[in-house]
Amino acid sequence: MTSPARRRLGWMMTTDLFDDLPPDDGAAATQTLAPGAVLLRGFARRQAPALLEAIGRVTAGAPLRHLVTPGGFRMSVATSSCGALGWTSDAHGYRYTTHDPQTGLRWPAMPPVFSELARDAAACAGFAGFTPDACLINRYAPGTRLTLHQDRNERDFGAPIVSASLGVPAIFLFGGQRRSDPVQRLRLIHGDVVVWGDASRLNHHGVLPIKAAHHALLGDVRINLTFRRAG
C-alpha cells in the first residue's frame, strides 16, 4: 500500500521527505518516537464511534470511578476496565484482579472492536500476535492529569502496551527508564494510537493537565484506552 501523500507526490519527487518511513509498507502515518515506541496517527479514528458505544456498555456494568492510590490520594482520572483482568488501586497497592471490587462481578468482557483495534495496531508496529487480556479505560475531565509513572504491574514485559486516545487533545509526557531522564512532550489527539514495546515498555510516562476544549463526539473529556497483557 502507498500513502495518499506519497502517491500524490510520487510523480514529482524522490523519497527524501519520507526517508524516516520504511519503504512502501502501508505504514504511512507511523512514526517511531523511541526504540520500541510507535505512533500511529489517526489509527482509531474510523472505529471511534463503535469504540464509544462499547465504552458506554462496559462502563454501564463497571462504572468509571476515582481510585485511591496506595499513598491515599484520590486519582483525578476516572478508571474502569474490561477483559479477563482489570486494574485497580487501593491502600494495599496497585494490582490486576478478575473481579471489579466495586461491584463484586467479573470485569465486563473485552468488546471485539477493542481487541481487534489493539491487535491490528500492535501488528502495524511490528508486534504480531498481541492478544490483550486487560483494557483500562481512563477518563480525563478538564484539569485532570496523570503524574509521571511506570507500568510495572503486568506479568510479561515482553508484550507491548497499546494506547488509543479519544476526545479532546492531551500533552503526553514520555520519559526514560529513570524518573530523572529527560521527558519528551507529545500532543495526542482523537484517534491517535501509540504502541509501547521492547525498549520503551518500562519508560516513565504521564499526561499534563487536560486543557478545556470541545470535541464533537466526546464533549469536554478525553478517554484513553490502554490494552495490556497483564496475566
Binding part of the chain for ligand MD3, among 3-11, 45-53, 105-113, 201-209 by CB under 6 A, reads: 201-209
- Considering CB under 6 A, how many residues would be counted as binding ligand MD3? 15
Q: Is residue 218 part of the contact set for ligand MD3 (CB under 6 A)?
A: no
Binding part of the chain for Fe ion, among 72-80, 113-121, 151-159, 189-197 by CB under 5 A, reads: 151-159
Closest residue to ligand MD3 using C-beta atoms: 224
Query: From the list 48, 130, 139, 151, which residue makes contact with Fe ion (rule: CB under 5 A)?
Result: 151
Q: Which does 115 bind (CB under 5 to 8 A by kind): ligand MD3, Fe ion, none?
A: none
Q: Is residue 133 part of the contact set for Fe ion (CB under 5 A)?
A: no
Shortest distance, CB of residue 196 to Fe ion, whole angstroms? 9
State which of positions 86-145 bind ligand MD3 (CB under 6 A).
Answer: 136, 138
CA proximity to 135, closest of 56, 79, 194: 79
Q: Is residue 51 part of the contact set for ligand MD3 (CB under 6 A)?
A: no
Residue 189 makes CB contacts below 8 A (sequence gap 6+) with 165, 169
- CB-based burial, 86-122: b 16+ in 10 Å, e otherwise: bbbbeeeeeebeeebeeeeebbbebbebbbebbbbbb
Cβ burial of 138 (10 Å; 0-12, 13-18, 19+) is buried
d(CA 174, CA 36): 13
DSSP 99: B
154 in Cβ contact with 133 (< 8 Å): no
Nearer to ligand MD3 by Cβ, of 61 and 169: the residue is 169
Residues that bind ligand MD3 (CB under 6 A): 136, 138, 146, 151, 161, 163, 194, 196, 200-201, 203, 205, 207, 224, 226
Residues that bind Fe ion (CB under 5 A): 151
